[in-house]
Structure 1
């Protein structure tokens, strides 16, 4: 299995380790699914309404030698989705992009790296914490 970041190769399979990624069919969740599969985890690609994308992600992982399954599971309430969409305009995005020291928004791949670390044996000492992968905004 090939890993995109750097020139790393995939870690060996992690027997018995399964990563369940809600919203794994698109965006940040999709990047997390790909990264965790590359690290040797069996992954559950959770989706609420994008069945084709979730199944395609699972098939891509399987084709690369990984283990994945797409599962429909809507864990979000309708009000949470509405509130998120209300704040998604160009002015808000530009203001948020200017806040971090690097003056850019994080990418799904940035978040996937954090998820992979926390799920790995190296992240075993991080428990009960809120991890802000926000580019350094205080």
Structure 2
């Protein structure tokens, strides 16, 4: 990646890890698209905070599970900011509970957003991210730990990791790197909603560093993968979990 002004799309960037990634890339000099599906007010707040700090950002709605919406997201980004240099496939949803209790509706939603949504982003990114660019996917460190209550969510992310490894080989000739970041427990609404304080404390106790991750911990890794310094890192999954697994 050169030092010229660059453009990044971050999906699911209205809050949590996605918002932290959008803010960090903007601080790194990227013109940043803050994608959202339903949280327009929060996405606009993230974009406004970036602008207040001297950056350029645009909040754009697109349901990543809809391939046409993802193609349109790229088109609107290119019209506003030019060629896309970096795509961060962050949008994701989760449920927590035994596999036997997963409803058909929840199963389909997890597949639609986490797997199909990331596939739609990767496919469009493979076609439109510029030569020498970056595609960065979000996975999970539950892969390798296989915590009860996370069966379908973990399965969707395992598929994302498989596609990451393969797309990295398919795009290598263009200098486009494809990597994934797999966070452990991070203190976001996605983790905390619906979980007891006792469970959160147990998760924290399992982490050798003695704390939950923060969204900024993950944003710093994405920043590295989006930079020139990561040019020899390709087809990798970086597990950021404080040593939990």
Q: TM-score range by the shorter chain?
A: 0.7 to 0.9
The residue number in structure 2 matching 1:129 is 236
Partner of 1:79: 110
1:31 aligns with 2:24: no
- Between Structure 1 and Structure 2, whose CA radius of gyration is higher? 2
Query: Partners of 1:123 and 1:99 in 2: how far apart?
Result: 30
The total of aligned residue pairs comes to 125
Partners of 1:120 and 1:88 lie apart in 2 by: 36
**CA–CA distance in structure 1, aligned partners of residues 43 and 4 of structure 2:** 22
Deviates more, 1:30-39 or 1:67-76: 67-76
Return the structure number with greater strand share: 2
Matching of residues 14-93 of structure 1 within 5 Å: 14-15=4-5, 17-75=6-64, 78-79=109-110, 88-90=194-196, 91-93=198-200
CA distance in 2, matches of 1:116, 1:88: 30
Q: 1:41 to 1:88 in 2, by over 3 A?
A: same
For the residue of structure 1 that corresponds to 2:45, the secondary structure is helix
Tell me the CA shift for residue 92 of structure 1: 3.4
Between Structure 1 and Structure 2, the one with more helix by share is 2
Equivalent pair of 1:48/1:74 in contact (CA under 8 Å): yes
Pair 1:120–1:63, CA change in 2 (3 A): same
> Unaligned regions of 5+ residues in structure 2, if any?
65-91, 93-107, 114-151, 154-189
**Over the residues paired in the alignment, what is the CA RMSD in angstroms?**
2.5
Supply the distance in 1 between the matched residues of 2:4 and 2:206 (Cα, whole angstroms).
Answer: 38
C-alpha distance after superposition, 1:63-85 (max 9, x if no partner): 2221111111222562357x667
Report the TM-score, using the length of structure 1 for normalisation: 0.78
- The TM-score, its normalising length taken from structure 2, stands at 0.46
Question: Tell me, which stretches of 5 or more residues in structure 1 are unaligned?
Answer: 1-12
Partner residue, 1:97: 204
1: CA distance, partners of 2:202 / 2:194 = 11
Residue 9 of structure 1 is matched in structure 2 by none
Quote how far apart the aligned CAs of 1:121 are: 1.0
CA distance in 2, matches of 1:56, 1:14: 26
Of the candidates 209, 220, 227, which is equivalent to residue 120 of structure 1? Answer: 227
